[in-house]
Structure 1
């Protein structure tokens, strides 16, 4: 598939060099909001420069003042040549982080740098770009993205591709599946030789099988073809940006970019 845009790859520090060989923009997932708050950084190759700062907030307690933290972010961006920020913030939004994003948004906007945020933080200011996950266990990806573009505007919506591989017991009242490793999925396909179908609503492959031990199973999974479909759905809705996790798609990238 020939893309009319270059997706961003989120990459941990130890995979940085190999990810850069694909020539795509990279968000370095090496940063964390720590207590204070202060900017914590994992070990990164000295040569890792350019791209975006990838920031999470795992373990942050939500307390502190925003000024010093914003200064730390700006200094690190200057030192590493970063020209954007991708915030992988999970859980309920912290008011402090919303204020941090508002302040950084004003500083970044003057430089023409984008800020990407998870959906709980999408309303903090009108200039951030909002990551909408592609992973669904029900409903429709088209409807999900359409609702997001109506709420935020298509220029602010970014498809966050999450490679799915889950095993659901049937019935599944809570819609929660058990994550499968690539090896486990491959082994199940080889052992069961099931008939595999494609859900146009979820943009994912699926099959079912029966187990003597625990009954009926429903397996939902992605490959290069289903990820390509997700990107096409987004493009039809006018969404021109996407983010992929390099560790999730490292075995599929060559096919996706061919």
Structure 2
């Protein structure tokens, strides 16, 4: 779900194909299987490639105490209507100038959720210091969010893969350590989930263009060009190189069961709550056997 563009104090309805009865059955199914059910609310994808629209919409919601309160009440109504267990907020494009209002919003929503006994989760872009060097993550104050929320999901993607980046893993073990260790200075380890990708990128080194690949796409591409997948020990991620029919040089970095295992083990060493995976359907199917056999899984669906 996302903020309504014309009235950002409210969230848009579910897709027309999702009736109220259907949504309630999904929530009930989760509850019957002891799964915490949260709606994820975001401010993305209004216009392809136009991040200013995303920022303008959330700015409208954050504008005043009254607009924030109206939005919080709409969230209360949504949770009550579908009997959710709380909410997951996934704001990702925010003007730096709105950072203090964003802090106020998280505090206000956190108090409301806590007063009702509901679970409050926040997704945050990755940052590694107090310095506002990255405009994407700079508006997000880890200390404020860590105090307000029950759970903080650190979105570790994309270390590499953003437009213009060089080749490399979406989330290396070193990057994961840097982001998590910074977060640990701002909030308890018990609140932290490290969100890692299950997708990857094909980096065209000749043209400089990066494209998404799922696990199956990566494996098909390696087979197509007859190249071997290698596991990079430094970053703890699989990769391979190939030359396409036009002579362009490529590197493909992605995730598989071995790299997810390594990240789960790293999360355990860091003492945090665990991992979150983005997004289902792109993953190596073998990760589920690894998770079932080697780790204890907490069920949270949003």
TM-score of the superposed pair, with normalisation by structure 2: 0.65
Question: What displacement does 1:171 show?
Answer: 7.0
Equivalent in the alignment of 1:18: none
Question: What displacement does 1:238 show?
Answer: 0.6
* Match among 34, 52, 60 for residue 63 of structure 1: 60
Equivalent in the alignment of 2:153: 131
For residues 160-179 of structure 1, the aligned pairs below 5 Å read 160-170=195-205, 177-179=210-212
Task: Give 1 or 2: higher strand fraction.
Answer: 1
Q: C-alpha separation between the residues in 1 aligned to 2:260 and 2:181?
A: 18
Deviates most, 231-240 or 76-85: 76-85
Which structure 1 segments of 5+ residues have no match?
1-30
Question: What displacement does 1:147 show?
Answer: 2.7
Pairwise CA RMSD: 2.8
Question: What displacement does 1:98 show?
Answer: 4.2
* Match among 30, 33, 39 for residue 3 of structure 2: 33
Residue 274 of structure 2 corresponds to residue 241 of structure 1 = yes
Q: C-alpha separation between the residues in 2 aligned to 1:208 and 1:231?
A: 26
If asked which structure has higher relative contact order (CA below 8 Å, sep 6+), I would say 1
Assess if the C-alpha contact under 8 Å between 1:56 and 1:89 holds in 2: yes
For residues 1-258 of structure 1, the aligned pairs below 5 Å read 31-34=1-4, 35-43=7-15, 44=18, 45=22, 46-49=24-27, 51-58=37-44, 59=46, 60=54, 61=57, 62-64=59-61, 65-92=67-94, 94-95=98-99, 97-110=102-115, 111=117, 113-119=119-125, 120=137, 121-123=140-142, 124-125=144-145, 126-128=147-149, 129-135=151-157, 136-137=159-160, 138=168, 140=174, 141-170=176-205, 177-211=210-244, 213-244=246-277, 245-249=279-283, 251-252=285-286, 254-255=288-289, 256-258=291-293
**Structure-2 change in CA distance of 1:134 and 1:36 (3 Å):** closer
Question: What displacement does 1:74 show?
Answer: 1.0
Q: C-alpha separation between the residues in 1 aligned to 2:201 and 2:8?
A: 37
Task: Give 1 or 2: higher helix fraction.
Answer: 2
Q: C-alpha separation between the residues in 2 aligned to 1:82 and 1:250?
A: 30
Which structure 2 segments of 5+ residues have no match?
32-36, 47-53, 62-66, 126-136, 161-167, 294-302
**Structure-2 change in CA distance of 1:202 and 1:152 (3 Å):** farther
Q: C-alpha separation between the residues in 2 aligned to 1:223 and 1:52?
A: 27
Deviation digits for residues 156-186 of structure 1, max 9, x if unmatched?
Answer: 321112113211133798xx73212455323
Q: C-alpha separation between the residues in 2 aligned to 1:171 and 1:84?
A: 47
**Structure-2 change in CA distance of 1:190 and 1:250 (3 Å):** closer
Aligned residue-pair number: 226
TM-score of the superposed pair, with normalisation by structure 1: 0.74
Assess if the C-alpha contact under 8 Å between 1:207 and 1:220 holds in 2: yes
Deviation digits for residues 72-105 of structure 1, max 9, x if unmatched?
Answer: 1112112222223222222235555543322110
